[in-house]
Amino acid sequence: MASYNTSDFRKGLKIQIEGEPYMVIESNFRKPGKGNAIYTLRMRNLVRGTVLERNYKGGESVEAADVEEIEGQFLYRQGDNYVFMDTSNYEQYELSSEQIGDAWKYLKDGTLCQMVLFESNPITVTPPNHVVLKIEYCEPGAKGNTATNVTKPVKVETGAEIHCPSFVEMGELVRVDTRTGEYIERVKE
């Protein structure tokens, strides 16, 4: 199995510790006055979502995680499960609502997402950075209230609630940043 040396440590690296996949979220390097360099890694467990911190001496190595990243298309929701299809071989995968997390807010039929598979089982889904959603319901905006940055809650087609400027109306399309959940702009059809 492949492994990484301490010189390869960087944010985003996927490694395996005690049979479980982790992604490095922070990597710090320290060189004390004498002795080996010390690398401190903060890692997120890709299955459970827990965070782990470990120290490694210079020259040590860690096992590479057996993860595969694929492009998956969201097909439909079935109860608490979400069904995706691998766009390269048309294989279908089911993920639970715990695995999806807040990504459900941006999933509509046909949305292409990045999926991470561990031992051929899906563990996480990342929606595209920006999605276009239709506003299903919102309160009408007050006239003349456009000088300041006034926002109002709106319900979009996925069932999620986001905050948009007061000038948006029902039936309009808006672009949303999936990383922050913030409104970006109105979109013309």
pLDDT digits (tens, 9 = 90+) for 143-179: 665 556 788 899 999 989 999 888 888 889 999 999 8
**What backbone torsions phi and psi does residue 72 show, to the nearest 5 degrees?**
-120, 145
Domain boundaries, the chain: 3-64, 67-126, 130-187
Q: Which CATH class name applies to 67-126?
A: mainly beta
Extract the runs of DSSP E, i.e. beta strands, from the chain. 3-5, 14-17, 20-30, 38-45, 51-57, 61-64, 67-78, 81-86, 92-96, 112-118, 121-126, 130-138, 151-156, 161-165, 173-177, 182-187
pLDDT digits (tens, 9 = 90+) for 38-69: 999 999 888 888 899 999 988 899 999 888 88
Specify the CATH number of the domain 3-64: 2.30.30.30
Q: Partners of 94 in the beta sheet? A: 83
Residues 24 and 11 sit within 8 Å (Cβ to Cβ): yes
Asked if the domains at 67-126 and 130-187 fall in one CATH topology, the answer is yes
pLDDT digits (tens, 9 = 90+) for 26-44: 999 888 888 888 999 999 8
CATH T-level topology, domain 130-187: OB fold (Dihydrolipoamide Acetyltransferase, E2P) (2.40.50)
